[in-house]
Structure 1
Amino acid sequence: MNWVHTAVIVLHVLIAAGIVGLVLLQRGKGADAGAGFGAGASGTVFGARGAASFLSRTTATLAALFFATNLALAYMGDRKPDAPSSVMDRVQTQSQTDTASDVPALPATPPASTQDVEAPAAPSQQEPQQ
């Protein structure tokens, strides 16, 4: 695995963690009921419009980056190297080269003339007489 692939994986994981954190920070639709009981102070921290627009834009940006890194990882993973990719591929290629060089070639079919070969005679099944 080269360093670019590793860097994209690390960036992908960090973006995913950022998305999870931002989604957990955002208020849901039912959170407006809490504003009547004193929970409306978030407007002073993030500006006049509140945290909704800032967090929403940041989440959308991170989502776009997440899809971009996902496509980059899919592209990098699709390329097939020339070397065997698994241990089983290595074992199969080694066994094919070993058997091809060590074992002499055998004829593919038996000889055509079978007239010279006689089947053994079956023993007689007669019972002894008393």
Structure 2
Amino acid sequence: MIIFLTIIHVIVCLFLIGVILLQQGKSADLAGAFGGQGSQTAFGPRGAANLLTKLTTWSAIIFMLTSIGLFVLIARHNGPRSVLEGTKAAPTAPAKPGK
């Protein structure tokens, strides 16, 4: 299961990189080249979400889910680990009764 999830994770990573690189920037038009904004909104003009935006959103969600899934599966596979797991306990002397 870990190998399958790792393969899906790598495929989603590459797909996410490709989809992000294919997207056009917010100020990629001619007005953006001269520093102008297309409208007076706070963060510039924003149109409706196109296919690339939706693909980016869903691939980011799948990326996060596979990341969490891999973390949980690998933690279960390796088992609980302690910092003091490999150390030997120092021998202790029995307590002396008080007089």
TM-score under structure 1 length normalisation = 0.45
What SS does the aligned partner of 1:111 have? coil
TM-superposed CA distance for 1:99, in Å, is 3.0
Change beyond 3 A, Cα 1:17–1:30: closer
Determine the structure 1 residue equivalent to 2:93: 106
What SS does the aligned partner of 2:85 have? helix
Deviations 1:5-45 (A, max 9, x none): 3213312321231132122xx26456155xxxxxxxxxxxx
How many residues are aligned here?
83
Determine the structure 2 residue equivalent to 1:59: 53
Q: Runs of 5+ in structure 1 lacking a partner? A: 34-51, 114-130
Q: Runs of 5+ in structure 2 lacking a partner? A: 32-46
Q: Hey, which bits of structure 1, 4+ residues long, moved more than 6 A?
A: none
TM-superposed CA distance for 1:70, in Å, is 1.1
Determine the structure 1 residue equivalent to 2:44: none
TM-score under structure 2 length normalisation = 0.54
How does 1:1-130 map onto structure 2 within 5 Å? 2-23=2-23, 26=24, 28-29=26-27, 31-32=29-30, 56-79=50-73, 80-81=75-76, 83-85=79-81, 89=82, 92-95=84-87, 98-99=88-89, 103=91, 106-107=93-94, 109-113=95-99
Determine the structure 2 residue equivalent to 1:124: none
Amino acid of the structure 2 residue aligned with 1:76: L
More helix by share: 1
The whole-number CA distance in structure 2 between the counterparts of 1:19 and 1:30 is 16
Contact 1:18 1:62 in 2 (8 A): no
Which one has a bigger Cα radius of gyration?
1
The structure showing larger relative contact order (alpha-carbon pairs under 8 Å, at least 6 residues apart) is 2
